[in-house]
């Protein structure tokens, strides 16, 4: 049985199955491993049924075949109205890759004025154009605040993580606004080199993202648009042996000790942090703003 | 200046245009005012001085596989003040700044154009059939063209793309000039 406090039912998470997403089942399984009750929720069910969930995850893929623009059509469906209201009420919302594009197009991220579209996720640039699939390194930069998705990480921790997208470049018409969001701690996950160099060139910043942003939150920290795929780095066996740094060392060690392969991988802490947030509001205890 | 435009559209139903229409009508509440949505691809060419640019584009369309696939596309060419013949009664030109700009060099490298290398830009032309008089259609098209919020706008994201609303079928010079006026890359 999944752990609860004070006998409360375990938190329920809806993984939104938009037409064209392709990561919903591994995302659900990873949430379940983090001791959450996760359910794949088809987009054409009555949207009001979403109100019964404690958190929402929009997984990766190609919702509506990326027609018009990645995330643009999905952002208009009734489910996003409910998710938006939930976000305003403090429910956590995680958008992974295509899910991040949906959250940006729905105006939930950066969410300074909820519902207003304040940025975009543009075509990859800065060394590569078109679809790009690779393992990169992301650093957790807390700027003195916690989010619903980062409480399990140490500030400055670097995690190797895979990504696969063609439109992952966070961009805002007004770059000054982007700097303000960064200073406000709304960019807690940024691409770095394996050695931790900030604002790295391609391939470490794989898409030319402004401020090397890999993940952007709303001001409250309960909504995260994250372009890499943490569910594809949730087990140690998913980490390539060639990855640099301690995670690569662990993975190479596990090649000789197969019992270690199912141990948590670098992306799992995002789901564990979400689990903590939902169970105990851990980020609040640790000094978060919300 | 010698301006010319190649417009391409699908022979079969355009799933993206149909999805845009459904989204506008069913998800965004434009059921009564948005009657139809179509879409075409625009390639805009500008030379400082080029004789018979239409012949160049005709050859590029027919003899290369860079723009036109005869199995799936139809096309038309307009030169100078000539206007295109898109469907609809109001049009939205959406472009990513700089899109298509490498095509001129590519054409030169492949020796597909001789002499001056053209300045090339790519864009998307949304062909809207809207209810109402010209002013109402123009107002509605502006509302649809630029995504300002979760509720308003669909066809472009202003942080990534430029959008221009056209109330008459656009001419080649007009399209080429609009794409030349694009802001610095977003």
Q: Which residues of B45-82 are buried (b: 16+ CB within 10 A; e: fewer)?
A: bbbeebeebbebbeebbeeeeebbeeeebebbbbbeeb
Question: For residue A2, what pLDDT is reported?
Answer: 54
The verdict on a CB contact (< 8 Å) between B96 and A122 is yes
Question: For residue A6, what pLDDT is reported?
Answer: 59
CA distance A3 to chain B (A): 37
- Chain A residues whose C-beta is within 8 A of a chain B C-beta are 64-65, 67-69, 72-73, 75-78, 80-81, 84, 105-107, 115-123, 171-173
How far is A91 from A81, CA to CA, in rounded Å?
Answer: 13
Q: Which residues of A are less than 8 Å from B103 in CB distance?
A: none
CA distance A115 to chain B (A): 5
Q: Which residues of B are less than 8 Å from A118 in CB distance?
A: 159
**Has residue A285 got a pLDDT over 50?**
no
Any A CB within 8 A of B26 CB: no
Q: Which residues pair with B127 in a beta bridge?
A: B38, B91
How far is B70 from B67, CA to CA, in rounded Å?
Answer: 10
Write out pLDDT tens, residues B21-76: 999 999 999 998 999 999 999 999 999 988 899 999 999 999 998 999 999 999 99
In chain B, the residue whose alpha carbon lies closest to the alpha carbon of A105 is B150
Write out pLDDT tens, residues B121-148: 999 999 999 999 999 999 999 999 999 9
Catalytic residue among A24, A118, A231, A283: A231
CA distance B161 to chain A (A): 9
Write out pLDDT tens, residues A50-94: 999 999 999 999 999 999 999 999 999 999 999 999 999 999 999
- Nearest by CB to residue A172, choosing from B19, B150, B159, is B159
**Has residue A289 got a pLDDT over 50?**
no
Q: Which residues of A are less than 8 Å from B150 in CB distance?
A: 75-76, 80-81, 84, 106-107, 115-117
CA distance A171 to chain B (A): 7
Any A CB within 8 A of B34 CB: no
How far is A259 from A231, CA to CA, in rounded Å?
Answer: 20
Catalytic residue among A23, A24, A35, A97: A97
A97 a catalytic residue: yes
* pTM for this predicted structure: 0.94
* Mean pLDDT for all residues in chain A: 93
A133 a catalytic residue: no
* Contacts across the A-B interface (CB distance below 8 Å): 75
A137 a catalytic residue: no
Query: Residue A127 burial by CB count (10 A; 0-12/13-18/19+): exposed, middle or buried?
Result: middle
Mutation target to probe the A interface, by most A beta carbons within 10 A, among B31, B159, B161, B182 is B159
Q: Which residues of B are less than 8 Å from A213 in CB distance?
A: none
Enumerate helices (H) and strands (E) in chain A, giving the number of each.
7, 11
**Has residue B157 got a pLDDT over 90?**
yes
Q: What is the 3-state secondary structure (H, E, C) of chain B?
A: CEEEEEEEEECCCCHHHHHHHHHHHHHCCCCCCEEEEEEEEEEEEEECCCCCHHHHHHHHHHHCCCCCCCCCEEEEEEECCCECCCCCCEEEEEECCCCCCCHHHHHHHCCCCCCCCCEEEEEEEEEEEECCCHHHHHHHHHHHHECCECCCCCCECCCCCEEEEECCCCEHHHHHHHHHCCCCCC
In a 3-state reduction of DSSP, which class is residue A49? helix
- Confidence band of A281 (pLDDT split at 50, 70, 90): confident
The verdict on a CB contact (< 8 Å) between B150 and A80 is yes
Contact by Cβ (8 Å): B57, B73: no
Phi then psi dihedrals of residue A78, to 5 deg: -55, -30
The verdict on a CB contact (< 8 Å) between A69 and B159 is no
CA distance A180 to chain B (A): 16
ipTM of the complex: 0.93
Q: Which residues pair with B126 in a beta bridge?
A: B39, B92
Phi then psi dihedrals of residue B11, to 5 deg: -70, -35
Any A CB within 8 A of B64 CB: no
Contact by Cβ (8 Å): A101, A70: yes
In chain B, the residue whose alpha carbon lies closest to the alpha carbon of A171 is B159
**Has residue A3 got a pLDDT over 90?**
no
Contact by Cβ (8 Å): A212, A199: yes
Q: Which residues pair with B171 in a beta bridge?
A: B83
The verdict on a CB contact (< 8 Å) between A117 and B27 is no
- Confidence band of A95 (pLDDT split at 50, 70, 90): very high
Say which DSSP state A205 is in. S
- Nearest by CB to residue A68, choosing from B96, B155, B159, is B155
Contact by Cβ (8 Å): A95, A58: yes
Any A CB within 8 A of B102 CB: no
Measured from the Cβ of residue B134, the count of other Cβ atoms closer than 10 Å reads 12
Q: Tell me which residues of chain B, numbers 70 to 99, contact chain A at a CB-CB cutoff of 8 Å.
A: 96
How far is A225 from A101, CA to CA, in rounded Å?
Answer: 7
End-to-end C-alpha distance for chain A, whole angstroms: 29
Say which DSSP state A52 is in. G
Stated as kind and residue range, the H or E segment containing A146 is none
CA A149-A155-A156 angle, to 5 degrees, is: 115
């Amino acid at each position: 049985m999944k752990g609860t406090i004070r006998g409360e039912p375990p938190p329920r998470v809806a993984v939104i199955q938009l037409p064209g997403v392709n990561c919903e089942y591994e995302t659900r399984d990873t949430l379940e491993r983090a001791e959450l009750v996760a359910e794949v929720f088809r987009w054409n069910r009555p949207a009001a049924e979403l109100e019964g969930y404690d958190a929402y995850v929009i997984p990766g893929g190609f919702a509506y075949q990326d027609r018009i623009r990645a995330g643009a059509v999905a952002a208009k469906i009734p489910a996003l109205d409910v998710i938006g209201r939930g976000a305003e009420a403090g429910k956590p919302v995680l958008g992974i890759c295509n899910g991040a594009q949906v959250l940006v197009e729905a105006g939930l991220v950066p969410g300074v004025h909820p519902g207003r579209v304040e940025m975009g996720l543009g075509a990859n640039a800065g060394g590569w154009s078109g679809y790009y699939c690779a393992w990169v390194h992301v650093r957790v930069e807390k700027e003195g605040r916690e989010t619903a998705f980062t409480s399990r990480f140490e500030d400055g921790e670097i995690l190797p993580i895979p990504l696969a997208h063609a439109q992952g470049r966070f961009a805002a018409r007004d770059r000054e606004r982007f700097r303000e969001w960064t200073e406000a701690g709304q960019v807690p996950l940024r691409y770095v080199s394996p050695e931790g160099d900030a604002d790295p060139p391609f391939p470490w910043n794989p898409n030319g993202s402004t401020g090397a942003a890999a993940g952007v939150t709303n001001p409250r920290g309960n909504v995260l648009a994250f372009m890499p795929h943490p569910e594809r780095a949730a087990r140690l066996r998913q980490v390539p042996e060639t990855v640099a740094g301690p995670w690569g060392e662990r993975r190479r060690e596990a090649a000789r000790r197969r019992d270690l392969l199912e141990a948590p991988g670098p992306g799992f802490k995002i789901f564990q942090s979400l689990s903590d947030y939902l169970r105990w509001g851990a980020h609040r205890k640790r000094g978060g703003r919300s | 200046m010698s301006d010319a435009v190649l417009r391409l559209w699908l022979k079969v139903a355009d799933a993206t245009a149909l999805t845009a229409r459904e989204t506008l009508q069913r998800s965004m509440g434009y059921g009564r005012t948005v009657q139809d949505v179509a879409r075409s691809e625009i390639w805009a060419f500008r030379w400082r001085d080029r004789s018979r640019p239409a012949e160049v584009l005709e050859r590029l369309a027919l003899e290369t596989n860079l723009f036109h696939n005869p199995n799936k596309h139809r096309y038309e060419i307009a030169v100078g003040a000539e206007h295109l013949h898109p469907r609809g009664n109001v049009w939205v030109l959406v472009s990513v700044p700089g899109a298509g700009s490498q095509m001129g060099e590519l054409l030169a490298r492949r020796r597909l154009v001789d002499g001056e290398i053209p300045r090339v830009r790519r864009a998307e032309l949304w062909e809207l059939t809207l209810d109402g008089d010209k002013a109402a259609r123009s107002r509605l098209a502006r509302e649809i063209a630029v995504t300002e919020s979760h509720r308003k706008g669909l066809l472009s994201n202003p942080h990534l793309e430029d959008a221009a609303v056209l109330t008459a079928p656009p001419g080649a010079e007009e399209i080429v000039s609009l794409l030349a006026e694009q802001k610095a890359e977003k």
